[in-house]
Amino acid sequence: MLKMSRDPVLRFTTLILITSSLFSYETEARLLHDNDMHNLNSIPEPPSSSFSQSQPPFISPNPNDPSQPPSPCQDLDQEVVHDVRNYGAAGDGITDDTDAFKTAWDSACSSDEDNNVSVLLVPYGFTFMIHSTIFTGPCRSYQYFQVDGTIVPRDGPESWPSGFNKRQWLVFYRINGMALIGNGVIDGRGQKWWDLPCKPHRNVNKTTALTGPCESPAALRFFMSSNLSMKGVTIKNSPQFHMTFDGCHEVHINSLRITSPPSSPNTDGIHIENSKSIEIHNSFISNGDDCISIGSGSYNIDIRNLTCGPGGHGISIGSLGNQNSLACVSNVTVRDSFIKFSDNGVRIKTWQGGSGSVSGVTFDNIQMDNVRNPIIIDQYYCTSKNCPNKTNAVFVNGIVYQSIKGTYDRRNPPIHFGCSNSVPCANLTLSGIDLVPSKGVTVVDPFCWNAFGVVDEFSVPSISCLKSDSSTLLLGDLLGKCGVL
């Protein structure tokens, strides 16, 4: 222990020396910074079609885990900012800034300073036009893609560069550790794509005329990536899906805003397939198709405090089993959410002829406001008038509907369980259901076909069409195809 002299002069001199030493040490520490860059070997670009891949290593979501990336606000000495303007981006909304973004990404991704995070900055007050681009990993440090300005593509299919994939715009491939953050906008400029003759459009009778499909880009695609976080950014007017996750693992979405007009075709807000451990919390989605669509190969999905609508098709599991395919979805929870002025509320949709299962799904504390089909299972999903009847079906089992309340459009039953003739829906559980017409007082009876389960006797409307759940003889075989048992 240091002992101070009782002599006032010596004590004052000692304090000056200690203070001077500490100041010198702090200054020297702040000046230590190494800016060397290292180039990564090139990695093949992802194909446009989706397919299953082996999952990346598990990343613990525990914030106290030392393996977790530091926040950029934690220690400014360890944050390296790569402003795209410093790499030649004009930000005038006219000049093609793709090369500048790619160079900035490569520089940030190749930085390997110990404990550093790299920030690719899209600054406020500028609009950056970039064409179809793939941001490739893995990177040598955790990446922050901070969007405070606006990013747009070229305007419409005719201006899309020849030879570039028309199914994707901004792709993040093999990234292990990235946060998409900021208060800016990713604007897909979708109107000219929606107006293509091959797109489904509303006719004068407000029915959908299907004349597709045709290629249009998803705004953001995350492919074979893990340890991802999104917060604060607005994504709007995508030509097709706004955001997709394919082959991803450990994704945390919070306070995201996704918007497009209710008439915009195929503009799903967030699409998930072949992915696990996905959280979507405290977000707002208003669009022309499913707010969230969950495809095959997805499990451990948690959706909480989501506002869905006005417009769109609600929250959907599916469509599954198209072209006689195997489809597996399990452990999905949707809770504490609000769906308003939408065609559907919570929906499971499967094609005839498929196989596999949807199991372990819970819809809890969902508020409906003027929703046409609040609760729906449709195992006869078809996008044309020529779908033949088939005996095989995806098995729907273990679905819980709890505290689903609000109003519905009287044109359809508030509850519709259209299950397969040969593969019944099993273990459906309904409690705390309180759905009343948005106009008038006449309550429409639920519809059930080959659906087995139990229901709370105090539910509104009264649900008497469910059969007692004794039809689970095929449970082992059906679920076994998905490796659940």
Q: Which residues, 6 or more positions from 416, have their beta carbon under 8 angstroms from its beta carbon?
A: 373, 375, 376, 377, 378, 446, 447
Q: Which residues, 6 or more positions from 230, have their beta carbon under 8 angstroms from its beta carbon?
A: 179, 180, 181, 251, 252, 253, 254, 256
Q: Which residues, 6 or more positions from 330, have their beta carbon under 8 angstroms from its beta carbon?
A: 299, 357, 358, 359, 360, 361, 482, 484
Active-site residue identified among 97, 313, 378, 416: 313
Q: Which residues, 6 or more positions from 49, have their beta carbon under 8 angstroms from its beta carbon?
A: none
21 by DSSP, 3-state: which?
Answer: helix
192 by DSSP, 3-state: which?
Answer: helix
Q: What is the dihedral of CA 192, 196, 200, 203, to 10 degrees?
A: 90
CA 82 to chain centre: 26
Tracing tokens 């976080």 back to the chain, one arrives at 229
Active site residue 289: yes
Q: 392, 324 in Cβ contact below 8 A?
A: yes
**What's the CA gap between 16 and 30, in Å, rounded?**
21
Which residues does residue 293 pair with via DSSP β-bridges, in sequence order?
A: 271, 316
Tracing tokens 């405090």 back to the chain, one arrives at 305
Active-site residue identified among 97, 268, 289, 290: 289
**What's the CA gap between 305 and 321, in Å, rounded?**
29
Where do the DSSP E strands lie in 148-291?
A: 150-152, 168-173, 176-181, 185-187, 201-202, 208-209, 218-223, 226-231, 234-236, 243-246, 249-254, 257-259, 270-273, 276-286
Q: 283, 269 in Cβ contact below 8 A?
A: no
Q: 451, 424 in Cβ contact below 8 A?
A: yes
**What's the CA gap between 74 and 59, in Å, rounded?**
20
Q: What is the CA radius of gyration of the chain?
A: 27
Active site residue 97: no
**What's the CA gap between 295 and 302, in Å, rounded?**
14
Distances (CA, A) of 334 to 279, 337, 341, 454: 10, 7, 18, 20
Active site residues: 289, 313
